[in-house]
Amino acid sequence: MAESTPLVRIEGLYKCFGNLEVLKGIDLNVQQGQKISLIGPSGSGKTTLLRCVNYLEEPTRGDIYIDDELIGQRLVGTRKVPMGDKQLARMRAGIGMVFQRFNLFPHLSVLENIILGPLKVQYRERAEAVALAEDLLDKVGMSAKRDAFPEQLSGGQQQRIAIARALAMRPKLMLFDEATSALDPELVGEVLGVMRKLAEEGMTMIIVTHEMSFAESVSDQVIFMADGNIVEQGPPRQIFRDSQVERTRSFIRAVQEH
């Protein structure tokens, strides 16, 4: 496969919270259509890395490009200054994000949750937004709950709606931040099913997950992180079966023991 310009390009990314260095120089490319899983022990920086991609966290140092556009910063001459609120919002609109705690809007119905972005951010016609939302509800298997409110839904149902809400913006990239970690075990499957379908349709995805078998079967590339560094990156088979790196092997062994 010929290397085209990557959709996401991360260069020399550092992130500190106070004295704590959470990311210590991350370089990463994500090609169009690629599915990347980030795995690693908690505190390894994978969620922070994901949140830097849509600038919910501001990197301490380093650059992130989406479609060759610098995110969160703009160049004034040769100096980089923080992006304005409007410009940042416009960039984020093209990047879908799914949160561990769903974060649906509790004062809005399922349908209203999904059409809010298309209506108020993209200024689409209501009829068009509703039609799109209904397609997405069908896709995530939630058409029956169109008029329900979030608190009436199970965690798995809420997360599927959250995925539909993100997709309604027609993003070019989807970020999943431990999308199944807050779910009861019997509800994990329905959310992974929706994510798998999305992957098969060719969506570019960066997935922070503890679901190792899912990561193995869906990803093109798996990245193992520890202590703010990328320890190893490769196809799922290399990471999960044939790793030559002791740190990776001990992590994989530990999570597969139960």
Give least dist CB 59 to other proteins, A.
Answer: 16
Q: Which of 97, 140, 173, 207 binds other proteins (CB under 8 A)?
A: 97
Residues 218-247 that bind other proteins (CB under 8 A): none
Using rule CB under 8 A, residue 120 touches other proteins: yes
Q: Which of 8, 71, 95, 192 binds other proteins (CB under 8 A)?
A: 95
Distance of alpha carbon 46 from alpha carbon 94, whole angstroms: 21
Distance of alpha carbon 45 from alpha carbon 20, whole angstroms: 11
Give least dist CB 95 to other proteins, A.
Answer: 7
| 16 or 56: CB nearest other proteins | 56
Contact 25, 32 (CB under 8 A): no
| 45 or 171: CB nearest other proteins | 171
Give least dist CB 88 to other proteins, A.
Answer: 8
Alpha carbons within 13 A on the beta-carbon side of 52: 30
Q: Which stretch binds other proteins (CB under 8 A): 12-20, 39-47, 133-141, 147-155?
A: 147-155
Give least dist CB 167 to other proteins, A.
Answer: 10
| 160 or 165: CB nearest other proteins | 165
CB-based contacts of 216, cutoff 8 Å, min separation 6: 222, 236, 237, 240
Residues that bind other proteins (CB under 8 A): 54, 56, 85-86, 89-90, 92-97, 99, 101, 103-107, 116-117, 120-122, 149, 151-152, 162, 165-166, 168-169
